[in-house]
Amino acid sequence: MHRVAILGLGAMGSRMARKLLDAGHQVAVYNRSPERARALEAEGATVAATPRQAAERSEMVISMVTDDDASRAIWLEESTGAIHGLGEGTIAIESSTLTLAWVRRLAEALGSRGTDFLDAPVAGSRPQAEAGQLVYLVGGAPSAFERAKPLLEVMGAAIHHVGPLGQGMVLKLAVNSLFSLQVAAMAELLGLVRKAGIDENRAVEVLGQMPVTSPAAKGAAALIAARDFAPMFPIDLVEKDLRYLLESARSVEAEVPATAAVRELYARAINEGYGDNNIAGIARLFL
């Protein structure tokens, strides 16, 4: 049994905290809007008033927030940031999807205090978080990874140590870009076949049997055909992750023109009012 802090109780963090509680761990939680913590408190979690308070008696501190700014506030805010509550031997784990530059700055801040740090973003959405079937992409020292792995296995079905600090985040951004490109391609092509007079459902059926159609693209096609755009991975977050990949690519002087083009497409969807739709809602631009 471990003492664990979860910082950020959105769609993912709340489900991760629940898996840890179900496994018998002592869980402290913090969320900027405290009302989101009440259900977890009823299930046995301790609600902290600040990230620092949540971290103070925890062996591992996990952040799952929206963006770089939220991560900065959670970890480094003067007096209330989690960094001020980290004890000797505590492992700090950042599971949000962030820029490489920010992960490196956070690593420097935590390293100056002698804290072990892992960037451990996850692949998967709400159903995978609820089922404990997330895929972890972890960067950091092997010794810290081995210590954290049993805890991550409570929330994930696959735990991959991919290299030094920052490399987990880069690979997660790459995964999200690849997914976003496939969904956008399927969306525009279904728009084409529909306007060409082909039955959309028949097109989805046939495309789904083709070797070039990945499971992700096949799933997106089914959602598009059903006009099911209820949010799991909202377009607002898709565009943010693509923007973060572009920033990270610039920092290592890599060219990513396909990602740049598809980011503009998701930005257009936001401008047209579809930002709160699931990623498959990009199809609304073409249907």
Which runs of E-coded beta strand occur in the chain? Answer: 3-7, 26-30, 46-47, 60-63, 91-94, 116-119, 122-123, 134-139, 156-163
Cβ count within 10 A of residue 127: 10
Q: What is the pLDDT of residues 206-251, one digit of tens each?
A: 999 999 999 999 999 999 999 999 999 999 999 999 999 999 999 9
pLDDT at res. 103? 98
Q: Are residues 142 and 242 in the same domain?
A: no
Residues in the chain: 287
Q: Same domain for 64 and 140?
A: yes
Domain termination residue (choose one: 144, 164, 184): 164
Tell whether 150 and 183 lie within a shared domain.
no
Q: What CATH number does the domain containing 236 carry?
A: 1.10.1040.10
User: Residue 197 belongs to what domain range?
Assistant: 170-285
Q: What is the pLDDT of residue 45?
A: 97
pTM of this prediction exceeds 0.75: yes
**Same domain membership, residue 243 and residue 174:** yes
Whether residue 241 sits in one domain with residue 120: no
Is a pLDDT exceeding 90 seen at residue 1? no
Q: What is the mean pLDDT of the chain?
A: 97
**Per-residue burial over 71-83, b = 16 or more CB atoms within 10 Å of its CB, e = otherwise:** bbbbbbeeebbbb
Domain shared by 143 and 179, yes or no: no
Q: SS3 for 234?
A: strand
Task: Give me the sign of the Cα torsion angle 242, 97, 231, 276.
Answer: negative
**In this structure, are residues 68 and 99 in contact, taking their beta carbons and an 8 Å threshold?**
yes
Task: Count the domains in the chain.
Answer: 2
